[in-house]
Amino acid sequence: MITVINLNASIDKRYELTELEKGKVMRAKEVENTAGGKGIHVANVATILGEDVVATGFLGGKTGEFIEDKLKEMSIKSDFVKIKGETRECLAFITDDLVQTEVLEPGPEVSNEEVDLFLQKYDELLSKSSIISASGSVPRNVPKDIYCELIRRARNLNKKFLLDTSGELLLNGIEAKPFFIKPNTDELEAISGKPVSEEKEIIEEISNLNKKGIECVVVSRGRDGSIAGYMGDIYKVQVPRVTAVNPVGSGDSFVAGFAAGLHRGYSIEDTLALAAACGTANAVNPETGAVENSVVKDLLKKITITKY
């Protein structure tokens, strides 16, 4: 089983506008409300791929109920801790020029007792899972080193932990040596404390992280594919050129494909290929954090993985 952690779930509200101007009244042409948060996208794509997935984290209030109903509709198994606070909403404004502006709420206040309840639930799910994936930010009052604790517990049981987060949460999480991280170049610079832009520098930093004990490090370079370091080897992952209609959620879909590949016992090359195919399949899909299996299958034939 794959446990997918989304501590700070949200209702993602997508507004289509002609334009967006500060200080003016804007009328939306279309509004769409979906179950969001990076982990929920991961859970959705892994479920579409046919994996046995359980999504977990915190949910509260009417917004939490909305997300639970949506998860049922999407056939995603879930086991969330119910909290007193209200799950957040995240807003995305898409204008006619296809530029997207996002406003992400910080999330509800979670009590220490609710954090403890989550840790208990995590231990139960951990005992039944071989892969754990955690994505995104954490709600208010949740310790900024929570991922460290979750990674340590997974490591103690020899379970693979995939961490996709940023900022302080990523810097703290790295200390506990997750199995997989997926920093972008800005995050890589924050980790290494120096500018990283050339391919040579990216590879050097990936190797440093591998040596620290993080088995797999993938740095995405958008349309240029990604560079991955796994147990001392470096791989270049190249994806075909596609016309992206909605690249939001492509990183989450990559994580879902990676988790699925590991779960199926694929080689690292095949795991990276499935991950890249899912990331690209999401970009050509209008829905955020969703892929079509036929598109993934077709893309798999066009992805190249080369060892340096």
Residues that bind ligand TA6 (CB under 6 A): 8, 10, 12, 36-38, 90, 104, 136-137, 248-249
Q: What angle do CA 245, 249, 252 make, to 5 degrees?
A: 145
Measured from the CB of residue 271, what is the shortest distance to ligand TA6 in angstroms?
22
Measured from the CB of residue 105, what is the shortest distance to ligand TA6 in angstroms?
8
By the 8 A CB rule, do 142 and 169 touch? no
Kind and range of the H or E run holding 67: helix 61-73
Gap between the terminal Cα atoms of the chain:
33
Cβ distance to ligand TA6 smaller for residue 134 or 176: 134
Cβ distance to ligand TA6 smaller for residue 230 or 258: 258
Read off φ and ψ for residue 43, nearest 5 degrees: -60, -40
- The burial of 112, by beta-carbon neighbours within 10 Å (0-12 exposed, 13-18 middle, 19 or more buried), is given as exposed
Q: Which residue is nearest to ligand TA6 (CB)?
A: 136
By the 8 A CB rule, do 211 and 217 touch? no
Q: In 10 A of CB 251, how many CB atoms?
A: 22
For residue 273, give the nearest of 204, 218, 202 by alpha carbon: 218
Measured from the CB of residue 176, what is the shortest distance to ligand TA6 in angstroms?
19
Measured from the CB of residue 135, what is the shortest distance to ligand TA6 in angstroms?
7
Measured from the CB of residue 34, what is the shortest distance to ligand TA6 in angstroms?
8
Rounded distance between C-alpha atoms, residue 255 and residue 164, angstroms: 8
Cβ distance to ligand TA6 smaller for residue 166 or 185: 166
Rounded distance between C-alpha atoms, residue 115 and residue 133, angstroms: 18
Cβ distance to ligand TA6 smaller for residue 150 or 305: 150
For residue 5, give the nearest of 108, 177, 150, 160 by alpha carbon: 150
Measured from the CB of residue 201, what is the shortest distance to ligand TA6 in angstroms?
26
